[in-house]
């Protein structure tokens, strides 16, 4: 009798050694029931390139499916976004005139200022985010004003950035997003907005923006590649983790309401760390290089584009992103619609 009890106890011990985790993976209904990461269309922010001129719709060769539009044709893009249920857009401008002081960037009749007014009049429900930087507007391609040695002058550049932010606010932008990486830009922008009765406009700061090789296709799209040197003296070094936390802390102290981590895919550790450390909305920017790599592989038949895009999107959300700036926004919206259709069947 004693031997039998010992055997039973031994059997019970073996039985309890492992858990059958696979039971919750048996079928799609169960997997959908227990998942704890969600994607909604309201999570998506779609970047749009707007070029000065008329009757322009030019595909960007390094970003298949992404176009530059003139204002008179931007409705083609906006109508599609409305149908897909995408509400948030991030605007980048390509002006005809560029100079060393980026004067077109804050022109009241500049390309982005006119685009904001047009969109707000025709499509008032869009949430418009204005990217604040000089690189698209300088003839040298750097993100600020240069000294005689080609170094970007921080404080002089702040004056230009403040003017850009104010001009976007006056045009009707809903959110101001400085991406230049100058020290003190958030404080400067916060102050000028407050002084002009725009203190209620949120600032979505590119607090964590690395000097990255993932930006190549964007520089084709925005015609913003530096004519000499690189941007390592103001964009962040990806080998220095502590710098990210310091940048975010400074921007929040200066008045930032949301922060962006850019790029996203290779920096999920930073994204997660920022989210865990600071109680603010964190936006992941899935950049042009991330888009183009997936597109190139999909075009060659090497990967399943839909599966890869959605896996990446869930990774951004799982790491802590409240929203994602992505060139795949329209694709993702369609994928989400397909999922709903399957469930309804």
Residue 336: CB atoms within 10 Å: 19
Residues 236, 181 contacting (CB under 8 angstroms): yes
Half-sphere exposure of 283 (CA within 13 A, CB side): 26
Q: Which residues contact 207 (CB under 8 A, 6 or more apart)?
A: 244, 247, 248, 250, 251, 252, 256, 259, 260, 261, 274
Decide if 262 is catalytic: yes
DSSP-based three-state secondary structure for 20:
coil
The catalytic position among 98, 163, 188, 209 is: 209
135-to-48, 251, 269 alpha-carbon distances in Å: 16, 21, 28
Query: What's the confidence (pLDDT) of residue 186?
Result: 98
Return the domain boundaries, the chain. 38-344
pLDDT in tens, the chain (345 residues): 444 444 445 555 555 678 889 989 999 889 989 988 999 999 999 999 999 999 999 999 999 999 999 999 999 999 999 999 999 999 999 999 999 999 999 999 999 999 999 999 999 999 999 999 999 999 998 889 999 999 999 999 999 999 999 999 999 999 999 999 999 999 999 999 999 999 999 999 999 999 999 998 887 877 777 777 788 888 999 999 999 999 999 999 999 999 999 999 999 999 999 999 999 999 999 999 999 999 999 999 999 999 999 999 999 999 999 999 999 999 999 999 988 655 444
Q: Which of 325, 296, 299 is nearest to 312 (CA)?
A: 325
Q: Which CATH class is domain 38-344?
A: alpha beta
Residues 242, 69 contacting (CB under 8 angstroms): no
Distance, in Å, from the CA atom of 52 to the CA atom of 111, rounded to the nearest integer, reads 6
Q: Is 294 exposed, middle or buried (0-12, 13-18, 19+ CB in 10 A)?
A: buried
Residue 12: CB atoms within 10 Å: 9
Strands 145-146, 152-153: pairing is antiparallel
Encode pLDDT of 118-171 as tens digits: 999 999 999 999 999 999 999 998 889 999 999 999 999 999 999 999 999 999
Query: What's the confidence (pLDDT) of residue 9?
Result: 54
Query: What's the confidence (pLDDT) of residue 344?
Result: 47
The catalytic position among 98, 163, 188, 262 is: 262
pTM given for the model: 0.92
Query: What's the confidence (pLDDT) of residue 19?
Result: 86
Residues 146, 136 contacting (CB under 8 angstroms): no
Residues 246, 159 contacting (CB under 8 angstroms): no
């Amino acid at each position: 009798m004693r031997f039998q009890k010992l055997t039973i106890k031994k059997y019970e011990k073996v039985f309890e050694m492992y858990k059958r985790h696979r039971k919750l993976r048996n079928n799609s209904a169960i997997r959908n029931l227990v998942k704890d990461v969600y994607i909604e269309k309201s999570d998506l922010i779609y970047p749009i390139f707007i070029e000065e001129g008329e009757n322009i719709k030019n595909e960007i060769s390094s970003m298949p499916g992404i176009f530059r539009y003139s204002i008179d044709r931007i409705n083609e893009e906006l109508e599609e976004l409305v149908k897909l249920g995408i509400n948030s857009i991030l605007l980048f401008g390509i002006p005809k005139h560029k100079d060393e002081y980026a004067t077109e960037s804050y022109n009241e009749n500049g390309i982005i200022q006119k685009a904001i007014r047009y969109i707000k009049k025709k499509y008032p429900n869009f949430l418009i985010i204005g990217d604040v930087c000089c690189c698209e507007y300088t003839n040298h391609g750097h993100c600020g004003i240069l000294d005689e040695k080609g170094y970007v002058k921080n404080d002089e550049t702040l004056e230009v950035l403040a003017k850009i932010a104010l001009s976007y606010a006056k045009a009707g932008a809903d959110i101001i997003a400085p991406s230049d990486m100058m020290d003190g830009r958030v404080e400067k922008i916060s102050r000028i907005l407050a002084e002009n009765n725009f203190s209620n406009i949120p600032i979505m700061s590119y607090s964590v923006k690395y000097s990255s090789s993932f930006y190549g296709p964007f520089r084709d799209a925005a015609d913003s590649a530096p004519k000499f040197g690189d941007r390592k003296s103001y964009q962040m070094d990806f080998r220095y983790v502590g710098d990210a936390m310091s940048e975010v802390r400074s921007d929040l102290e200066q008045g930032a309401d949301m922060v962006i981590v850019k790029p996203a895919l290779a920096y999920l550790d930073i994204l997660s760390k920022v989210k865990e450390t600071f109680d603010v909305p964190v936006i992941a920017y899935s950049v042009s290089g991330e888009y183009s790599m997936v597109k190139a592989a999909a075009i060659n038949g090497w990967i399943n584009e839909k599966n890869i895009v959605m896996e990446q999107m869930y990774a951004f959300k799982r790491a802590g992103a409240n929203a994602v700036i992505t060139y795949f926004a329209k694709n993702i919206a369609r994928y989400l619609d397909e999922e709903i259709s399957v469930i309804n069947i």
